[in-house]
């Protein structure tokens, strides 16, 4: 019989990411910023990584693997984590992401664009960034100024969300799906070389993208195992 931890690993990992994001953000909003200190820029990178973790958690919820067998809990966690990432709306992301899996790298794929990096990113942004999000971000920015220094808000709340958006797009959409793929590549997806540390740092193993499309029921923290299996290193 599985232990409680084994049964609820996805939820525990999601809560750890949520807690780390909220705790560090709260600390950094109160922190005295020094632009001469390398710790400031390291803090921005760590917050960027945690923002990426929020979205990856929401993504896993779309596949029902944060809380397997509990659709309601998956939706709740997905809604919270997507919302904390610049007010993304889970109910809007969910159908678009499943269209991506169903029609990968075709005209019906909302994530796909045949142009260069910048045109592709603009197409991607039009699909997922809404006026309501921008207004909510602007309103929250002005509200946060009542309690926190402007430089802290920009450095640790706004900039990491923007950087994480580019990170998710580059490693999770552009790199895996750009260019031509072999006819027998049914997922029209490439994959990063096997380097688990870099794969985690770059995008929570989503550079192992063929593996994700091949087995979308695997949570992000198991993708490295599938990479090992396909590489003959299991």
C-alpha separations of 213 from 166, 217, 228 in Å: 21, 9, 16
What is the pLDDT at residue 2?
66
Question: Residues in the chain, how many?
Answer: 234
| pLDDT tens digit sequence for 61-105 | 999 999 998 999 999 999 999 999 999 999 999 999 888 988 888
Q: How do the domains of the chain map onto residue ranges? A: 4-173
**Quick one: angle between helices 71-84 and 90-102, nearest 10?**
110
129, 89 Cβ separation under 8 angstroms: no
How far apart are alpha carbons 179 and 38 in whole angstroms? 37
Q: Tell me which DSSP letter residue 157 carries.
A: I
Indicate whether this model's pTM tops 0.85: yes
Residue 77: other Cβ atoms inside 10 A = 23
Q: What is 61-106 written as a DSSP string?
A: HHTT-SSTT-HHHHHHHHHHHHHHTTT--HHHHHHHHHHHHHTTTS
What is the pLDDT at residue 233?
67
The HSE-up count of residue 151 (CA atoms within 13 Å, CB side) is: 7
What is the pLDDT at residue 200?
95
14, 57 Cβ separation under 8 angstroms: yes
In this prediction, the residues of the chain whose per-residue pLDDT falls under 70 are 1-2, 233-234
Dihedral pair phi/psi, residue 164, rounded to 5°: -65, -35
What is the pLDDT at residue 21?
97
């Amino acid at each position: 019989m599985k232990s409680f931890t084994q049964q609820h690993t996805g939820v525990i990992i999601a809560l750890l990411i949520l807690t780390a994001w909220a705790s560090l953000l709260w600390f950094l909003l109160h922190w005295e910023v020094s632009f001469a200190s390398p710790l400031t820029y390291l803090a921005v990178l760590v917050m960027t990584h945690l923002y990426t973790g929020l979205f990856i958690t929401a993504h896993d919820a779309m596949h029902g693997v944060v809380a397997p067998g509990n659709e309601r809990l998956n939706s709740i966690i997905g809604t919270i984590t997507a919302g904390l990432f610049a007010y993304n709306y889970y109910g809007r992301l969910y159908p678009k992401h499943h269209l991506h899996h169903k029609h990968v790298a075709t005209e019906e794929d909302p994530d796909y664009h045949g142009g260069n990096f910048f045109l592709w990113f603009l197409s991607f942004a039009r699909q997922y960034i809404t006026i309501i999000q921008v207004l909510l971000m602007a309103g929250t920015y002005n509200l946060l100024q009542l309690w926190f220094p402007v430089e802290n808000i920009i450095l640790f709340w706004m900039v990491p969300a923007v950087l994480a958006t580019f990170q998710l797009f580059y490693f999770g959409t552009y790199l895996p799906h750009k260019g031509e793929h072999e006819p027998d590549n049914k997922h029209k997806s490439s994959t990063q070389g096997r380097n688990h540390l870099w794969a985690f740092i770059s995008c929570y193993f989503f550079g192992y993208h063929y593996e994700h499309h091949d087995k979308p029921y695997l949570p992000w923290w198991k993708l490295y195992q599938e990479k090992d299996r396909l590489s003959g290193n299991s």
